[in-house]
Chains A and B, each alone.
Chain A
Amino acid sequence: KAGVTQTPRYLIKTRGQQVTLSCSPISGHRSVSWYQQTPGQGLQFLFEYFSETQRNKGNFPGRFSGRQFSNSRSEMNVSTLELGDSALYLCASSLVRSTDTQYFGPGTRLTVL
């Protein structure tokens, strides 16, 4: 079974731009969570989607948004990029209810110049 895939793997943007990241969960997994990883703040929860609905949200500004499609694929959008948004953005998928385990993708490395 294929793992969680994320595209693109690397992105370079400039301040003020917006960016969209994509995540395809493991087949059959219906929950997708997004995390931001930085050297200073570590791994922080952004939000979680299940059945195309945002079920949970971390403490991030409204510039960070996401959505989930009917096939469980998810996208994350960051508008008006700031230098501090440079990070590794990780997507994790899980079955929900039948298992607590979340499986992470390789991440998208975003650099904001």
Chain B
Amino acid sequence: QQQVKQSPQSLIVQKGGISIINCAYENTAFDYFPWYQQFPGKGPALLIAIRPDVSEKKEGRFTISFNKSAKQFSLHIMDSQPGDSATYFCAATSRPGDAGSARQLTFGSGTQLTVLP
């Protein structure tokens, strides 16, 4: 119930191409879906996030598409660049029962993206 399934495990894209990473979840209580980008030796950094009341959110070259009925969401990276080469994690979280608590993130397994020059 708490799992977030992410695919593919690895992705190789040519420079200028579109990178697409998919995630699926089961827990209908999830109401916030962030994507994190992690470079080697660094902690994950928030890239973009979406709530289920919208079907799409775009920030620069990064777009999240959200399908509430299918319980799926995806990250699209347009015009992929070598500098985008990193590991991407989708995550999901639900409002905690304790109003004073932070949200507990449930992460997908990660996608290692390589953008070839």
> Which A residues have a C-beta under 8 Å from some C-beta of B?
4, 31, 33, 35, 42-45, 48, 50-51, 55-56, 58, 90, 92, 94, 96-97, 100-107
Contacts and interface: CB of A to CB of B under 8 A. Distances in A.
Interface of B: 32, 34, 36, 41-46, 49, 89, 93, 96, 98-110
A1 to B, nearest CB: 15
Given A43-B89, A55-B98, A100 B44 contact: no
Taking chain A's interface residues, is the majority helix, strand, or loop, or is none over half, making it mixed?
Answer: strand
Task: Tell me what chain B mostly uses at the interface: helix, strand, loop, or mixed.
Answer: loop
A106 B43 CA distance: 4
B102 A31 contact: yes
A87 to B, nearest CB: 13
A21 to B, nearest CB: 13
Contacts of A51: 100
B100 to A, nearest CB: 6
Given A42-B107, A101-B34, A107 B43 contact: yes
A74 B11 CA distance: 36
A42 B103 contact: no
A14 B109 CA distance: 28
B34 to A, nearest CB: 7
A19 to B, nearest CB: 19
Contacts of B107: 42-44
